[in-house]
Amino acid sequence: METELIAILGLQWGDEGKGKVINALKNEYEIGVRFQGGANAGHTVYKGEDKIILHQIPSAILCTEKEALITCGCVLDLEALINEIEELKKRNINPEGRLFIDERTPLVFDFHKEEDVLENEKKGKIGTTGKGIGPAYRDLIDRKQIKIGEFKNKDFAYRKFKNLWNWASEVIGSRFGRPVKPLDEVFEKHFSLFEKIKDFLTDGIIFLKEKEKQGKRILFEGAQGALLDILLGTYPYVTSSHTITGGILLSTGVPPWRIRRIIGVMKCYTTRVGEGPFPTEEKSEIGEILREKGQEFGATTGRPRRCGWLDLPLLKYAIRITGTTELVITKLDVLSGFKKVKVCTEYELEGRKIEFPPALSDELYRVKPVYKEFEGFEPDEKDKNLRKFLDFIEKETGTKITYISASKGEEIKKVS
């Protein structure tokens, strides 16, 4: 019998609590896979009192009997990776023999981060995490990137790197009037970083094929969220990777029909870091309360997150583009204490009512949310008002809620 392959994806603009859900379902898989993004992600997991934030390594690494794979849909920051490995070792978690990196994975170099940060200071910025994600993916699409496995041949890697470095120094020089660090210095730095992690390299496509054959259960761990997808998100206020189920197929070679369980993680309200349209954003005291109660400050950059009510048009869209088969709703305790809780059920755009978001960000900026009010509730499944709130979401989205997360300190609970 074929094992079940599971995907856990964010349905909003990231920070939905994916890390917690992945950790809670630890009995349901043996191998965790990151298929997109890079050090822009911040997955917070609590092990008792200890708070661990993973950026590039799949959360599966925290369970010592599991294996973790970073695929070529990611862009890998070697310096950050080594720091992450050190952090794990400090906690007696040893990734050796359990962490694998697809040789095809492109890299993030210092000049990618430099360009990202400088670009962000310009007008019309996206508000990125400054981790070099956009420039690294651009160079991949532009066919200039270096695949990590290419470092195995130092001379070959140097020739390719020189080409990329020349390009980067032209871009940063002409656009920002700055020099980049000398070619040989940057190359040698990254080469010695590579030497430290080269034992983790593998062919990710064959690795997964073999594991599937052995009947291992695999979990694909999404980073960011559906609305940050490069193609179907709120462009240009998005990240540069494919955050949806399609992104798994692109970088793993796993056949589409093998992934039948797609768990969409959502908060019971909405947050966003960085720029871009956010119809239900509350700039008032309500937003402030959500931010404080929910501790909505970025795990990667520490920036305060923008906060607002749950947005059903965007949620329905995210469920559609991810193929979500079940929902997990997190942070219910953050809404307790509100007398009334609001949910946006549709938008008004130029006098028309619409229940799906418009295709373009420019239009999404102009929609007016129409709200339905719910009685306040406690984060307890037996609370009748909470049940009404959850039933409404299930009915509107046509998708079952399988787990809820009531508070930070507690495990997620199965919904009966």
59 near ligand IMO, rule: CB under 6 A = no
Strands 201-202 and 99-102: parallel
Element (H, E) at 318: helix 312-322
Residue 106 makes contact with ligand IMO by CB under 6 A? no
128 touches ligand IMO (CB under 6 A): yes
Q: Which does 17 bind (CB under 5 to 8 A by kind): ligand IMO, Mg ion, none?
A: none
Among 42, 58, 106, 357, binds ligand IMO (CB under 6 A): 42
Residue nearest to Mg ion (CB): 42
Distance CA 112, CA 122 (A): 16
Kind plus residue range of the DSSP H or E element containing 119:
helix 110-120
Scan for tokens 């129409």, then name that residue. Answer: 370
The answer to whether the beta carbons of residues 246 and 338 sit under 8 Å apart is no
Residue 284 Cα to chain centre, angstroms = 27
In the list 6, 9, 14, 72, the residue contacting ligand IMO (rule: CB under 6 A) is 14
Beta pairing class for 269-272 and 306-311? antiparallel
- The two most distant CA atoms of the chain are separated, in Å, by 67
Q: Does 277 bind ligand IMO (CB under 6 A)?
A: no
Count, residues near ligand IMO per rule CB under 6 A: 23
Kindly tell me which of 239 and 399 has the beta carbon lying closer to ligand IMO. Answer: 239
Place of tokens 């052995």: 214
Minimum separation from the CB atom of position 125 to Mg ion (A): 19
Q: Which two tokens stand for residue 203?
A: 């062919």
Give the 3-state secondary structure of residue 399.
coil
- Closest approach of ligand IMO to the CB of residue 15, in Å: 5
Closest to ligand IMO by CB, 133 vs 218, is 133
155 among known catalytic residues: no
Closer by beta carbon to ligand IMO, 186 or else 223:
223
Please identify, using beta-carbon distances, which residue of 44 and 399 lies nearer to Mg ion.
44
Residue 101: strand pairing partners: 70, 201
| 79 closest CA partner among 194, 201, 200 | 194
Q: By CB under 6 A, is residue 233 in contact with ligand IMO?
A: no
**Among residue numbers 245 through 274, which ones bind ligand IMO (CB under 6 A)?**
273-274
Active site residue 190: no
Q: CB 131 → ligand IMO: shortest distance, Å?
A: 5
Nearest 5°: the CA angle 270, 273, 276 is 85
Active site positions, annotated: 15, 43
- Which residues here bind ligand IMO, judged by CB under 6 A? 10, 13-15, 40-42, 126-129, 131, 133-134, 223-225, 228, 239-240, 273-274, 299
